[in-house]
Amino acid sequence: MPDVRSDEDCRRLIAALEKPIYRGCFTLIYGYGLRIAESVMLPVSAVDSRQMVLRVLGKGNKERILPLTESILQMLREVWKTHRSPQWLFPSQRLVTHLSVGTARVAFVQARNACGFNSDFRPHSLRHSFASHLLERGVDIRIIQMLLGHSSLRSTEIYTHLTEPLRDQLRKLLCQTTDGLFEGRRPSHG
């Protein structure tokens, strides 16, 4: 089962990241369901502010084009102003290479510990949470598949587990469906 966290927990962890580069990196992971490697390796050229899209290179060098929101664009611009790397959105300290996955993980663990979350909360939990929250809001699983960059719908189906909000929705639906089903009928004891 994927580790899914509440929106509040995801936002709290991201807010606990000290450096803007780390906050920006993990904001994209949670806000777009990116893998950690996809986020740290984003070049500046991935941001197309004219078309308002973010171009992400995923597994197998498959590109996916994601809609860029004004708030994410502004956040990325603010992060870029802190380092002004001509090549990377999230550069290493030397600016000539991108932030390493290991360095990003260390920052994540420090923020997680500062928030008091358990070790099950990993960077990939943000991706799981993104997908699960979209499902809870009724977004079609095929759209989630495209956003996550899964070539197979089977990969996306792991997010269809019954989270608490989905269980509540199902319970309400079943109550609506079955409430009148047995009215006026007596159970048979045969």
Classify residue 53: in a domain, yes or no.
Answer: yes
Closest CA to 166 of 143, 138, 127: 138
Out of 5, 35, 112, 128, pick the active-site residue: 35
Q: Are 107 and 22 in contact (CB under 8 A)?
A: yes
Task: Give catalytic status of residue 98 as yes or no.
Answer: no
What's the confidence (pLDDT) of residue 173? Answer: 62
- Residue 161: active-site member: no
Can you give the CATH number for the domain in which 174 is found?
A: 1.10.443.10
Q: Out of 11, 62, 124, 167, which one is annotated catalytic?
A: 124
pLDDT at 44: 97
Q: Is residue 2 part of a domain?
A: no
Mean pLDDT for the stretch of residues 33-46: 95
**Residue 12 designated active-site:** no
Residue 183 resides in a domain = no
Is residue 163 in a domain? yes
Q: What's the pLDDT at 181? A: 46
Q: Does residue 95 have a pLDDT over 70?
A: yes
Q: Which domain holds residue 157?
A: 7-178
For 75, counting Cβ atoms within 10 Å of its Cβ (0-12 exposed, 13-18 middle, 19+ buried), the class is middle
**Total Cβ atoms within 10 A of residue 135:** 20
The yes-or-no answer on residue 59 being catalytic is: yes
Cα–Cα distance, 24 to 165 (Å, whole number): 28
Quote the tokens at residue 40. Answer: 């740290």
Is the pLDDT assigned to residue 52 strictly greater than 90?
A: yes
Catalytic residue among 59, 62, 142, 171: 59
User: Domain total for the chain?
Assistant: 1
Say how far residue 84 (Cα) sits from the centre of its chain: 26
Distance CA 25, CA 21 (A): 6
Residues in the chain: 190
**How confident is residue 171, by pLDDT bands cut at 50, 70 and 90?**
low
Q: What is the mean pLDDT of the chain?
A: 85
Asked whether residue 184 is domain-assigned, the answer is: no
Asked, for residue 75, whether it belongs to a domain, the answer is yes
Tell me whether residue 187 is in a domain.
Answer: no
CA-CA distance, 100 to 167, in Å (whole number)?
38
Collapse the DSSP code of 67 into the 3-class scheme (helix H, G, I; strand E, B; otherwise coil) and give the result: strand
pLDDT digits (tens, 9 = 90+) for 136-170: 888 887 787 888 776 666 666 666 665 556 566 65
19 pLDDT tier (thresholds 50, 70, 90): very high
**Residue 124 designated active-site:** yes
Give me the mean pLDDT over the 91-108 stretch: 95
- Taking the C-alpha atoms of residue 111 and residue 53, their distance in angstroms, rounded to an integer, is 29
pLDDT reported for residue 185: 47
Whether 133 sits among the annotated catalytic residues: the reply is no
Asked if the structure places residue 117 within a domain, the reply is: yes
Reported as type and span, the H/E element at residue 174 is helix 164-178
